[in-house]
Structure 1
Amino acid sequence: MATLFSYLCLRSLLFFVLVSVSLEGQSLLNCDTNSLDASGYRCNGFGSQDKCGTFAVFRTNSYYSSLFNLSFYLGLNQTAISEASGFSADTDYLPQGQPLLIPIDCECNGGGFYRARVTKTTIKGESFYGIAESLEGLTTCKAISYENPSISPWGLQERVQLMILFLTYPPSSILL
C-alpha cells in the first residue's frame, strides 16, 4: 500500500511541477484576466487519451478538515477518498495539512483542455475567489466563473450547486 501511495504521490508531484512550469507568470486566482490560458487546463499533447482516472492531491485546511465535510461539499465519495488515502471511512477529523488522494475521472474536451468536474455545494457568503483559494490550486477563480456564468462570483447564497473544474492530467502521460 505504501508503494502505491508513493507512486501516486510521485505522479501527482510531477503533474503539479509540469503545470506550474507551463503556467509560470500567470495569476490563476485572478477573475479579471482575459487570457484563455488562465483557466489552467490546456491539454499538452503528450497523450492521446480522451478519458482517464487520476488523483488530485489535496491538503486538509480549515475549510475542509474532515472526510465528511470534503465529500459533502464537493460531492465526492468519502469511502473512495479514505481508501485511497489510507484512512478509515469513519475518521471524523484530520489534522490540518494532511495530504489526501482524491480519485477523480478526467477528460480532454474538444477544446484541448483536461478537466475533471465536481459539484460544489456553497456556504452562505462564499465567493469564487475564496472557493478557488480553499481548494489550493485544484481550480481557479476564472474556471469557476466560466463554468457558472449565470451566478455572481461574490456573496453566494447557501447550498448553491456550482460546477467546479479541477486541474487534471492523464497519469500515463506523466510517465512517458
Structure 2
Amino acid sequence: MNFFKRECQEPPITDAQFGICDAAGGRAFTKTINPETWTAEVENRQQIPVVFTAIDNCVLQSYELEETGRFDGMLTTNIHLYLVELKERQNSRISKSIQQLTDTINLLKQSHDLSRFRHKKAYAAIKVRSHPNFHIIRHSERQEFFQTYDFRLDLQTRIILD
C-alpha cells in the first residue's frame, strides 16, 4: 500500500497558515481562505513546502479494509510526518479518533520505512464549535502512545509545523 501516492497529494503549500477541511463522503483537502470553514488550522511559520496527502477516500478507498479505521490525511515535509484525523461533531468520541489513527499507523509502518522523519505526530482534530478547540489527554496516555507507535499524540485543531 502506497501512502505517498502522487494522485492523492496536493501540490506543496508554503503559506504561513492554511486549513484542512473534510468533505462529507469525500476526501480531505487544504484551503487557504475562509478560516471559519477549516476543521484544523496549520501554522507553517517557516513557510517550508508541506505536502498534504488525502488518506481516507484516496489512498484507502471506503470499500478497502472496511473493518480498519483510517485517518483523513497527512502532512509531510523532509523531516515532518503529521497524521490528521478530522472530526466536526460535538459528540465525536476521542477514543474512536485515536483508534482510527492507530489502525492506520500500523498499516503505514507495514508499508513504509518512516525513519527519515524526525518529527512524527498524530493529531485528532475535533472541532467543537461551542467549546474550546482542545481536549485533554493524560500524560501517561501520551507516553504510552509514543512508546507504542513512535508518534506523539495531540488532541487539538491547531497543528504547528516546528
TM above 0.5: no
Higher relative contact order structure (alpha carbons within 8 Å, sequence separation ≥ 6): 1
Name the structure with the higher helix share. Answer: 1
Q: TM-score, normalised by structure 1?
A: 0.27
Q: TM-score, normalised by structure 2?
A: 0.29
Name the structure with the higher strand share. Answer: 2
Greater C-alpha Rg: 1
